[in-house]
Chain A
C-alpha cells in the first residue's frame, strides 16, 4: 500500500519512554518510528513487556513519551481526543450503566441531543448484534458480548483512529474467531485507521495489512511484514499456504524475541 506524506494518519517519531521503578530506570520504548496511513490496519506483536501497550497509551494520549512525539492528523498528541477511540482488553464497561447507556456515554459528552444519542447508540449496538440487550447490565453479559459493547462504544463516537489493546485476549477461541470476522467486516464497511495489539500471531496475520514486530525490552520495531493477502479475508484464509507462510515467518521472529526477553 502506498504511503506518501499526504495520507499519513498517525506518525510516531522517535518515541522513547522511560519508567522509574524501584530497580532504577527502565527503558520501555527505545526510539520507535512508525507511520500509519489513513484507513490502514496494523497489528503489533511482540513478547509481553516489550512496550506495546505503552506505545498504544502514548498514541491514545493516556501516557506521555519521555522524548519524541506522536502526531495524529499532523497535530501533536498531548491528551485523549475524540478522533482516537480505545478498546481495552478488560472491556472497561461501566457496570452501573446498561448496554445502551454505556454506548451513549461518549455521545452525551459530545452534547448530542437525547434523540441523537439514542439513535447513534442503537445503530452501533445493532452493528455488533446486541439489539436485544439494550437494557441489560454488563454483569448479565458474557465476555464476548461485553467486548462487543465496548466495540460499539468505541465506534459510536466515530473516531478516525481505533486503538485496540489485545481486545480479544481474554476470550475463548471460538468467540475470538467470531469477533475477528466481525471486526474485519466492520473495518471493510466503515473504514478506520486501526492500531491493534495482540500476542496472537494468527490474529495479527488475518486482520492486518502490516504486522509490526517489536523486540524484547527495550522496545523497538524489529521488523515490519506486509501481509499481501487480499481482503475480504475469511476463516478459510487461514487454510491457505500464503497465510501459513507469513504466520510462520512472523512467529519465528516473535519467538526469537521471546527467548531474548527470557535472558
Chain B
C-alpha cells in the first residue's frame, strides 16, 4: 500500500518532467504551455481575481447537478429494483436518454431554461443521474437472494428486508455510482458552460481559446483534472469507511 503511494508520486513527477520536455520542443511550445508557464497563468488569474470565482462557480454547478442526480437516482433505482412493473415503465426511457450525449441537449435546454444557472445544472444533473441510476439499479438487482431468504426466516418483513438488507447490500454499488456520476458531472461541465456562462472553468477555457491564450487553456484543463482527482479521492475514502466489510481481492 505504502509502495503504491510512492509510485503515485513518482508517476506525477515523471509526468510533469515529460510535459516540460514536450513543451520545450519549438513547434509544440506554440500551443502547449510548459508547467512554469501554466503556474504563472494561474498566478495571473488569481491576481485578476477570477480564478477562484471560476473554480467556485464550476464546483457549484458540478456538485449541484450531481447532488440532485444522486438524490433522484437512489430512490428511482431502488424502486426499479423492488417493483418490476416500475422498472418496466422507466427502463426504456433511461436507456433512450443514456445514449444521447448531454451536449446534444444543450440547444433545447437553453431555449427551455435560458442561460442561467439552472440550465447548466440541469445538463449536469441529467448526465450524472443517468450514469448513477443504471449502476445503482444493477446493484439492487444483484443483491444475493440467499441473504433475503436468510432475513425472511429470521422474521424480517418487506420493510426490514428493504432497509436492513437491500440498502446495505447495495451501498458498494451506490459508491461506484457516485464515482461514475462525479466523473460524468465533470466531463459534462465544459459542455454545460457552453450555455452562455459568464464565469466558470469551461468558460475560462472557451474565452482563452478565442484569444489563443493557450497557457490559460492548459490551466483550465489541469484545474478540472485536479478537481476530479480530489473528488475521486474523497469518494474512495468514503468507500473505505462505509464498505470496509466487503470481501476484496488480496494482492
Measured CB to CB, the residues of A under 8 A from B are 60-62, 79-80, 82, 84-86, 88, 90, 92-97, 105-106, 109-110, 137-139, 153, 157
Contacts and interface: CB of A to CB of B under 8 A. Distances in A.
B155 A157 contact: yes
B155 A109 contact: yes
Nearest to B154: A106
B233 interface: no
Contacts of A62: 149, 152-153
Interface in B149-165: 149-156, 160, 164-165
Q: Which 5 residue pairs across A and B have the least CB separation, nearest first? A: A106-B154, A92-B150, A86-B153, A109-B155, A92-B146
Interface residues of B, number: 22
B87 interface: no
A139 B246 contact: yes
Given A80-B155, A94-B169, 18 more contacts: A61-B153, A79-B152, A80-B152, A85-B153, A92-B146, A92-B149, A94-B165, A95-B245, A95-B247, A96-B168, A96-B245, A97-B245, A105-B164, A106-B155, A109-B155, A137-B244, A153-B154, A157-B154
Contact of A96 (B146, B154, B160, B171): B171
A219 B157 CA distance: 31
For A82, A84, A96, A139, the residue with the greatest tally of chain B CB atoms inside 10 Å of its CB is: A96
A158 to B, nearest CB: 12
Given A88-B146, A95-B246, A139-B246, A60 B156 contact: no
14 contacts: A62-B152, A85-B153, A88-B149, A88-B150, A92-B146, A92-B147, A94-B150, A94-B169, A95-B246, A95-B247, A106-B154, A137-B244, A138-B245, A139-B245
A84 B153 contact: yes
Interface in B91-136: none
Interface of B: 144, 146-147, 149-156, 160, 164-165, 168-169, 171, 243-247
B155 A90 contact: no
A159 to B, nearest CB: 9
A93 B245 CA distance: 12
A19 B171 CA distance: 34
Contact of B146 (A90, A97, A157): A90
A139 B155 contact: no
A60 B154 contact: no
Nearest to A109: B155
Mostly helix, strand, loop or mixed at chain A's interface? loop
A163 to B, nearest CB: 8
A190 B156 CA distance: 25
A183 B108 CA distance: 68
Contacts of B147: 92, 94
Contacts of A105: 151, 154, 164
Contacts of B247: 95, 139
B149 A110 contact: no
A232 B156 CA distance: 36
Contacts of B150: 86, 88, 92-94
Contacts of A106: 154-155
A177 B150 CA distance: 25
A109 B160 contact: yes
B93 to A, nearest CB: 30
B149 A94 contact: no
B246 to A, nearest CB: 7
Contacts of A94: 147, 150-151, 165, 168-169
A138 B245 CA distance: 8
A86 B151 CA distance: 10
